[in-house]
Amino acid sequence: MPSPSALLLAGIRLLFVAEAMIGAVTGQAMAVFVTCAALALTFAPGQLASRVRLTLPPSFLAGIAVFVMASLYLGELHSFYDRFWWWDLVLHFGSAMGFGILGFLLILMMFEGDRYAAPPWALGVLSFCVAITVGTMWEVFEFAMDNLFGYNMQKSGLRDTMSDLIVNAVGGALAAAGGVIYLSGASGLRLGSAYDAFIAVNRSRFRKLLPGNKTLTASKHPAPSPPTVDRE
């Protein structure tokens, strides 16, 4: 029985295929372009990850597909950005959370899961920086598109940009805090399952991290010496 995440991913892909076919029949070129691009984006992350010998769990792929559907299919094709003023903020928050989680895991992977190689708070700060950097680069992209090609991606200008950056900071901070709490053995702001899922399918990259967030580090956990017996 496929997991709920796998079913959700398949359902979103089928929706895109159906919308593209309807658009082709009715002559709506924009609908065909957007849905085909969205469909390609649901496959791209998994393919890119496999090229660097990583595996994205179904929950990650489903989350990416939901984000693509919300941003391109609903946001652009069905004008949710114009219909709901908060739609863009929600997506920025979600993307910041996602990049924060992924950044934390990739940084932890660099140490093979050794949580003693660096303090958990340091990993949290670095993952927060990843989320903020991605969000900032997106705002630079919006500014460039508006000024070079006459788009209106920034909408209200400075207010839109600052609102997006603030929401990015909040989402990135929550993801970073979740990672720090996860390494402490707690629930990680209910994000523990996301960290566990990624580590489970990439276990060879986290060789020093044992179940329960325990780390294989000889200097930290020396093996007990066997008892000695005096013989005369």
In this prediction, residue 37 carries a pLDDT of 94
Q: Which string of DSSP letters, residue by residue, matches the chain?
A: ---HHHHHHHHHHHHHHHHHHHHHHHT-HHHHHHHHHHHHHHHHHHHHHHHTT----HHHHHHHHHHHIIIIIIIIIS-HHHH-TTHHHHHHHHHHHHHHHHHHHHHHHHTTT-TTSS-HHHHHHHHHHHHHHHHHHHHHHHHHHHHHH---SSTTTHHHHHHHHHHHHHHHHHHHHHHHHHHTTS-TTTTHHHHHHHHHHTGGGGTTEETTTEE--TTTSPPPPPPP----
Question: Which domain range does residue 48 map to?
Answer: 1-84
Domain end point (choices 55, 84, 113): 84
Backbone torsions φ then ψ of 214, nearest 5 degrees:
-90, 145
CA 72, 33, 60 angle in degrees (round to 5)? 40
CA 197, 49, 35 angle in degrees (round to 5)? 100
* pLDDT at residue 57 is higher than 50: yes
Q: Does 74 reside within a domain?
A: yes
In this prediction, residue 111 carries a pLDDT of 85
91: amino acid identity, one letter: L
Q: Are residues 92 and 203 located together in one domain of the fold?
A: yes
Q: Are residues 176 and 112 located together in one domain of the fold?
A: yes
In this prediction, residue 150 carries a pLDDT of 80
Q: Does 188 reside within a domain?
A: yes
Q: Are residues 111 and 193 located together in one domain of the fold?
A: yes
Average pLDDT of the residues in 3-12: 95
Q: Does 231 reside within a domain?
A: no
Q: Does 144 reside within a domain?
A: yes
Q: How many domains does the chain have?
A: 2
Q: Does 226 reside within a domain?
A: no
* pLDDT at residue 122 is higher than 60: yes
* pLDDT at residue 22 is higher than 70: yes
Half-sphere exposure of residue 168: CA atoms within 13 angstroms, side-chain side: 20
Q: Are residues 93 and 61 located together in one domain of the fold?
A: no
Give 190-200 pLDDT, tens digit per residue.
677 888 899 99
Q: Measured between alpha carbons, how far is 62 from 6 in angstroms, rounded to an integer?
A: 7
Q: Are residues 112 and 167 located together in one domain of the fold?
A: yes
Domain end point (choices 32, 66, 84): 84
Average pLDDT of the residues in 38-66: 95
Q: Are residues 62 and 9 located together in one domain of the fold?
A: yes
Q: Does 205 reside within a domain?
A: yes
In this prediction, residue 222 carries a pLDDT of 47
Q: Does 35 reside within a domain?
A: yes
Give 88-100 pLDDT, tens digit per residue.
999 999 999 999 9
**What is the rounded end-to-end Cα distance, in angstroms, of the chain?**
66
Domain end point (choices 69, 84, 99): 84
Q: Are residues 104 and 197 located together in one domain of the fold?
A: yes
Q: Does 200 reside within a domain?
A: yes
Q: Are residues 121 and 174 located together in one domain of the fold?
A: yes
Q: Are residues 36 and 147 located together in one domain of the fold?
A: no
Least confident segment among 16-25, 39-48, 193-202:
193-202
Q: Are residues 53 and 105 located together in one domain of the fold?
A: no
61: confidence class by pLDDT, cuts 50, 70, 90: very high
Residues 6+ apart with CB under 8 A from 39: 13, 16, 17, 20
In this prediction, residue 101 carries a pLDDT of 94
Q: Are residues 75 and 95 located together in one domain of the fold?
A: no
Q: Are residues 92 and 144 located together in one domain of the fold?
A: yes
